[in-house]
Each structure stands twice: as C-alpha cells, then as structure tokens.
Amino acid sequence: MLRKDKLILAASVAACICTGTARADYTDKAAGRITNVLTYDGGHFLITIDPMQQGRCSTYFMVPADVPVDARQMLLSRALIAKSTGELVNIGYDGRTCVNGWYCVHRIG
C-alpha cells in the first residue's frame, strides 16, 4: 500500500456510529482468506473470511458508514483483489463493538 493511501486510510477511518455516541477502536485482528464480498447500494459492503471464530458479533465485517467514499472504495478494491486471488489478509477491527451485529473494519492488509 502506498504511503499516500495509508495516510488517507488513517485519516478517514473514524468511529463506528450507531444510536447515540459510540467509539470504535482497533482492538483485534483476524487473518484468513476472504470468502465473500457482499456489495450494496451506496458503496456499503460486508466481507467474511475463513477461518473466523465466532465472537461477540456475527462473522461479518463491515466498513463504518462514516468512512468517506474514497476510503470505502479503496477498502472494497482491496477486499475484491484479495478474494479473487485467494490472498491471505489481515483484518484490523473493533472486537468489542458490534454495529448491526457486525464488526467494524479499520484495516484490510
């Protein structure tokens, strides 16, 4: 990942917002191969990896809604490339907070 991309990602990834005020932290990481990239209108998407152990949330990862479109597209591109090549990825996420039952992704690398 280019230095510029890392700076954009670091500057644009913010807290997951749900009802009231919530704060999301990068508390956990998971390594595996992306098995699903589910895309929705508005640039929203969910991903799953294998292996993924069941935790507080479901086995889905999502990018918080307050992440800017350009950063969201960068993460989506990274997820799609990793899925299509079968590449092993590390996903940094907030393991303590569930938003709509999903983990909030902070990094796909």
**How confident is the model at residue 106, as a pLDDT?**
84
Check: CB of residue 98 under 8 Å from CB of residue 56.
yes
Q: Are 63 and 56 in contact (CB under 8 A)?
A: no
Q: What is the mean pLDDT of each run of 10 residues along the chain (109 residues)?
A: 46 33 68 93 88 78 87 92 95 86 87
What's the CATH number for 3-108? 2.40.50
The CA distances from residue 52 to 30, 37, 73, in Å, are: 7, 15, 24
As a whole number of angstroms, the distance between CA 45 and CA 36 comes to 10
Domain ranges of the chain: 3-108
The whole-model pTM stands at: 0.71
C-alpha distances out from residue 59 to 4, 6, 42, 68, 86, Å: 30, 26, 22, 24, 18
